[in-house]
Each structure stands twice: as C-alpha cells, then as structure tokens.
Amino acid sequence: MKIALMGQQNSGKSTIFNSVAGYKAVTSNFPGKTVTYNLTKFNLFGQTLELVDLPGTYSLTSFDLAELEARKYLLKNSVDVVIDVIDASLLSRSLELTLQLLELKIPMVICLNMIDEADRKGIKIDIEKLSKILDVPVVPVIAVKGKGIKELFSTAYKMGEKKKIGKTLNFSKDVEEVIEKLSAQIKEKQISKEFNVPERFLAIKYLENDRYFMEDFKNRDKKIFKEINYFQNLLKEVHGRPPDVVISSERHHLSMNIYESVVSLTKPHASLIDYLDNVLMHPILGYISLGLIFYLFFNLVFKVGKIVEEPLLNYFYSIIPLIG
C-alpha cells in the first residue's frame, strides 16, 4: 500500500515522515528536476507500507515547480491513501488544499497536526463535525511529540483497505452548473481517463486554464476547447472576474464556512515562550536583556573559570612528567 503525505508548507509532513522512517529513508529526484522527495517502507499489521513525503503544496492549481511535481506524483503513481497534513492553527487556509484533494477522489485521512499550537492560540476544533462535513476521518496529532502518529497510520491503512472516498463539496449553484455541463462533455469524450483523474476535477482544471492539462490536448481536440472557452467566458460574464479567480474564491468561501462551523475561539494561553519573546523582542527591553545576558555570560566564564583553573592546572602539571 502506498501512502502519500500532502499538505501546505511547514504543516509537519517531514516530522511525521521521520517519526516512521528513521535512517531508512531514500531521497529521490523527480525525473529531470532538482525537486526531491523522500520515500520509506515500514511495517504495520504485518503489511509493508510505502510512505512518501511530498513537497509542501498550497494548492493543486499552481505554477511552482515543487508543487506541480507533488501533484504529478499523486496523479501518476497510483497512491492508495493520501494523508492531508494540516496545521491546526491555520485551519481555514489549509482547508483550501483539502477541498482540492477531495476532488481527486483518492482515499484520504486528515491529520490535524500541531494541536498544541492551536490550543495555545485558543483555537478549539470540533473534530467529529469536521470529519462529518468532509466524510473523511480526522486524527488529531502532535507530531513533534509523536502523539497520535500510530492512530494516524492505522486509520490511513483502514481507509486504504476500504478504498473509502470523502465528500466533494459543491460550489455556488451557477458555478456548479457550468462544472457539471463541462464534466458531461469530458465524460462523453473520455478525456479524463487519459489523465487518470475524475471528470469533475478535470473540468475545474480546464476552467482554471491549468497549463498542464490544457497544453496536451489543445492541438488534438478543437471542439472541446471551444466548449471550455464558452464556459470560461460564461463564468467571466456572470462574475466579472477571470474563471480561475471565480473558482479559487468559491473554494475560499467554502473553507471559511467550514472553518466557522467547526472552530470556536477562546482566550489564547500565553506560554513561557511568549513571555520570553515579548521581553527579548521588545525595542528597549530587548537591548537591556542582551546586555544582561552578556554580563551573566562573561561573569560565568570568568568566575567559574577562576574556580576550576587551579585544580585543572595542577592536574596538567602532574601529568607532564609522566608524558616526559
């Protein structure tokens, strides 16, 4: 079974990867590119699972080389389960990628990582509700402490066995109608099979003018290209914005709605690190602290040095004749 870690930058993918990989990880290059990814194998329930740590990705519609390679890997490598690693303290932004991953219709688990950070910021997430909305299991994790990692992989394994696919959430009615009509055309012409993606996903990519999917068939099928143009113009006319902006704002809107229905905000807990940060980064107190730290440091070096100097010197003097 092949499991892929996907998620936005700094969401903790590599920390999770390293917690199971240890020294066995193999780093590879995407063919012809300098973008790397890590691969490892590990055992769970007597099965050998393959785990790949993909580059951080903000969106599946992207021009960034590393992000495009991560997407291509998902499309071309028959991944059995995707673990969508989310920074729980940045939930609304992260959900935009989650919605796109769901459109790929690959079995998925959401890893709600950095629960400790979310707690500290006073962000409380209703995990059951989030799981219900997306019809995907959600596992709370604190990757740096190894908390929840076992449950994460056993859930991923179960999802891979069941091949259970989450829900695709609908956009506004008029946008959804355009997507449906274009999907029907794509289905009729069996284009999505070539790319090995669901029709709805491909229809959205075409409306977004995604270069990877557009370039290949532009020369081959003039008719569908005309249809795409027609639907793109339709969205543009109704919304007064380019179709890719319309789609991304639809996704943003959905993510915000989900965020608002599952998150409750409480007072952030100020930790010792916050207090230290406030003092050390203060424009005046910061310099005073720096002076104090230097003062203590030099005192430590000279005072402790004075105490240990004599016994150390005596020791060295005593071994010099032996060396002689």
Rule CB under 5 A: which residues touch Mg ion? 13-14
State the number of CA atoms in the 13 A half-sphere of 323 facing the CB. 6
Options 4, 6, 7, 99; binder of ligand GTP; rule CB under 6 A: 7
Q: Which of residues 126-165 bind ligand GTP (CB under 6 A)?
A: 142-144
Options 6, 15, 21, 192; binder of ligand GTP; rule CB under 6 A: 15
Q: What's the CA gap between 108 and 158, in Å, rounded?
A: 10
CB of 7 to Mg ion, least distance (A): 9
Strands (E) across the chain are located at 2-7, 26-29, 36-44, 47-53, 81-87, 108-113, 123-125, 138-140, 263-265
Options 10, 47, 170, 233; binder of ligand GTP; rule CB under 6 A: 10
Q: What's the CA gap between 202 and 212, in Å, rounded?
A: 11
Q: If contact means CB under 5 to 8 A according to the sort of partner, which of Mg ion, ligand GTP, none does residue 90 touch?
A: none
CB of 223 to Mg ion, least distance (A): 43
CB of 302 to ligand GTP, least distance (A): 36
Residue 81 φ/ψ, nearest 5 degrees: -140, 140
Q: What's the CA gap between 183 and 206, in Å, rounded?
A: 10
Q: Is 28 in the site for ligand GTP (CB under 6 A)?
A: no
Which residue type occupies 309? E
Q: What's the CA gap between 265 and 260, in Å, rounded?
A: 10
Options 68, 70, 108, 114; binder of ligand GTP; rule CB under 6 A: 114
Binding residue count for ligand GTP, defined by CB under 6 A: 16
CB of 15 to ligand GTP, least distance (A): 3
Residues at the contact surface with ligand GTP, assessed by CB under 6 A: 7, 9-15, 56, 113-114, 116-117, 142-144
